Amino acid sequence: MAKKKSGKRKRAQEEDIALDYDDNKSNQPGATANTTFLPLTGQCHHYRKVGEVPFDIQKYWHQRHSIFSEYDAGIQMTDDAWFGVTPEPVANQIATDLSLRAPDEKTTIIDIFAGAGGNAIAFALSERWTNIIAIEKDASTLACAQHNAAIYGVSEFITWVNADCFSYLSENRSTIDASSTVIFASPPWGGVTYSNTEIFDLSTMHPYSIQEIHKACTDMYSVLYLPRHSDLRQVAKLAPKDKKIDIVQYCMKGASKALVAYVPASST
């Protein structure tokens, strides 16, 4: 189980968060020896008033307290991160469901598209995982995630990796223990037009198709966070022989936010 400070969220002071420090987690499968805490950049914002918020983000900003209950403590977001962040109640429910579903031998979770940290924070708060690795290729977004995790008191329980997740998985293939690892993937869905069709064709998901993502983690238990109207026939095709995929719709206020596919590993 992950260690967590006396069960209570420790709200970090803003000035502490941007400091670089090394945290030796070299015992973690596939983890880099050190986690560097990146500085917030000019791309990172904590919008306080609607007048500061770019027009296309305002509808998300109005839901800021549903997205992060600790928003007012100084949550930081890049403008792009608003479109993809998993709202806190959904992230917490997924973390709870995964804790119950994942076999006991699964002790490491790798969040390969960490974004602003919505899911990684929930996984850390669940205290289910010995190792949590969060990968994000955009340095400003990763800095937001680290900062936001610090607000929830869990930043030091996550190994942060600023990298392309596909390169990371292939380069660390020899040290990642597939039998004890779960991959969580909440990929970009291709922009706001993803919802324009009745059934979402996952093979056209941009920039990574479902097949490409699945191929990168097929030997590991994987959890895929996908558009609510995803083509279920395409999801079903990911099932290893003689195994089943569980699919759960996650709703807030009666509306589905996403579907999550719990995909067994091909080999274990």
Ligand X SMILES: C[S@@+](CC[C@H](N)C(=O)[O-])C[C@H]1O[C@@H](n2cnc3c(N)ncnc32)[C@H](O)[C@@H]1O
Q: What residue ranges bind ligand X (CB under 6 A)? A: 81, 84-86, 113-119, 135-138, 141, 164-166, 186-188
Report, in Å, the least distance between residue 135 CB and ligand X: 5
Report, in Å, the least distance between residue 109 CB and ligand X: 12
CA distances (Å), origin 177, targets 13, 66, 152, 168: 36, 36, 29, 14
Q: Closer CB to ligand X, residue 97 or residue 242?
A: 97
Q: Closer CB to ligand X, residue 35 or residue 141?
A: 141
Strand 221-226 and strand 255-263: the pairing is antiparallel
Contact between 45 and 169 under an 8 Å Cβ cutoff? The reply is no
Report, in Å, the least distance between residue 268 CB and ligand X: 24
Q: Closer CB to ligand X, residue 74 or residue 240?
A: 74
Contact between 254 and 245 under an 8 Å Cβ cutoff? The reply is no
Q: Closer CB to ligand X, residue 195 or residue 267?
A: 195
DSSP 38: P
Report, in Å, the least distance between residue 187 CB and ligand X: 6
Residue whose C-alpha is closest to residue 222's, from 233, 231, 211, 230: 211
Q: What is d(CA 183, CA 217) in angstroms, rounded to the nearest whole number?
A: 7
